[in-house]
């Protein structure tokens, strides 16, 4: 069987088995906007867009990328993390080294997770990351079981809304990505989220005039924010939205 098909089957199977199901207490929709990897431009262009709209986002960091280049894009510096944290954004975990976690043993997952936790403690002081996003969105039952034990929420990249019985071990999300961005679809999804009292989570990477396939333009990000504001949907960091889902 082709490896890609096997991976897709494994993904479908993994999604079908919730490992941390939480019954939603939401009586109205809530949204989150998140950034994976934290390219330089996410911190320097993306965060100010959120701040102008008085929104706090979630930034999933790989400490191993701080001050480095990843996939040909300059990544954040340590002082960017401090600025994000001080502005009230959530600093969350995206592993230390951005591995395919599906290929790691639990011992290797422990080492990587601890490295990121130590890095954040050294950089930001007493900050505990309670939200996690899977690198490449790659999940397996074993990886999901591991990360669900370590973090309050784990976010994937499988497209969808979070509603009803929500699997906190693999939250669904919607990419704001150049390769597939369609504001009409975003508006439809936001309207559906409002209708169903769902938690709608967006994610992107770099933000700039010429973004990567996985990033977006400033206008794309502003359009999503405007759509959420027009719908009267509150946008909160993943951690705060998760608490609202869980406790009402």
Q: How far is the CB of 23 from Zn ion (least distance, A)?
A: 30
Q: Which is nearer to Zn ion, 180 or 226 (CB)?
A: 180
Q: Which of residues 54-93 bind Zn ion (CB under 5 A)?
A: none
- DSSP bridge partners of 38: none
Number of residues that bind Zn ion (CB under 5 A): 3
Angstrom distance (rounded) from CA 173 to CA 203: 7
Q: How far is the CB of 231 from Zn ion (least distance, A)?
A: 28
Name the CA radius of gyration of the chain, rounded: 17
d(CA 152, CA 132): 8
Environment class of 122 (CB within 10 Å of its CB; exposed 0-12, middle 13-18, buried 19+)? exposed
For residue 218, what are its two tokens? Answer: 């400033």
Minimum CB distance to Zn ion, residue 51 (Å):
23
User: Which residues, 9 to 38, sit near Zn ion by CB under 5 A?
Assistant: 36-37
- Least distance to Zn ion, CB of residue 221, Å: 18
| Pattern 115-144, Zn ion, x by CB under 5 A | --------------------x---------
Distance between CA 141 and CA 100 in Å, rounded? 14
CA 90 remoteness from chain centre: 11
Q: How far apart are CA 66 and CA 212, in angstroms?
A: 19
Q: Given the complex with Zn ion, which of 22 and 170 has the nearer CB atom?
A: 170
Between residues 37 and 206, which has the closer beta carbon with respect to Zn ion? 37
The residue (of 64 and 135) whose beta carbon lies closer to Zn ion is 135
User: Which CB sits closer to Zn ion, 22 or 61?
Assistant: 61
Smallest distance, Å, CB 70 to Zn ion?
8
Residues 170-229 that bind Zn ion (CB under 5 A): none
Which residue, 87 or 100, has its beta carbon nearer to Zn ion? 100
Q: How many residues does the chain have?
A: 248
Shortest reach from residue 52's CB to Zn ion, in Å: 25
* 174-to-68, 77, 128, 200, 202 alpha-carbon distances in Å: 27, 26, 25, 8, 5
Report residue 49 CA to chain centroid gap: 17
| Residues that bind Zn ion in the complex, under the rule CB under 5 A | 36-37, 135
């Amino acid at each position: 069987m082709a490896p890609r098909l096997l991976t897709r089957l494994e993904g479908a199977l993994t999604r079908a088995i919730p490992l941390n199901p939480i019954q939603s207490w939401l009586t109205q929709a809530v949204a989150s906007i998140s950034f994976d990897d934290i390219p330089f431009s996410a911190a320097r262009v993306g965060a100010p867009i959120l701040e102008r709209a008085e929104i706090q986002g979630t930034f999933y960091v790989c400490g191993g990328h701080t001050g480095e280049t990843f996939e040909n894009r300059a990544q954040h510096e340590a002082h960017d993390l401090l600025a994000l944290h001080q502005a009230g954004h959530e600093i969350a975990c995206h592993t230390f080294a951005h591995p395919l976690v599906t290929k790691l043993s639990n011992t290797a997952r422990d080492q990587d997770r601890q490295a990121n936790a130590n890095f954040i403690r050294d950089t930001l002081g007493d900050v505990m990351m309670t939200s996690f996003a899977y690198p490449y969105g790659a999940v397996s039952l074993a990886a999901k079981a591991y990360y669900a034990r370590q973090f309050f929420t784990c976010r994937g990249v499988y497209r969808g809304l979070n509603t009803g019985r929500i699997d906190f071990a693999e939250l669904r999300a919607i990419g704001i990505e150049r390769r597939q961005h369609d504001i009409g679809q975003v508006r439809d999804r936001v309207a559906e989220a409002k209708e169903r009292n769902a938690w709608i989570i967006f994610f992107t990477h770099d933000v700039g005039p010429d973004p990567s396939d996985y990033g977006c333009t400033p206008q794309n990000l502003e359009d999503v924010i405007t759509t959420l504001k027009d719908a009267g949907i509150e946008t909160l960091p993943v951690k705060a939205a998760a608490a609202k889902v869980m406790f009402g």
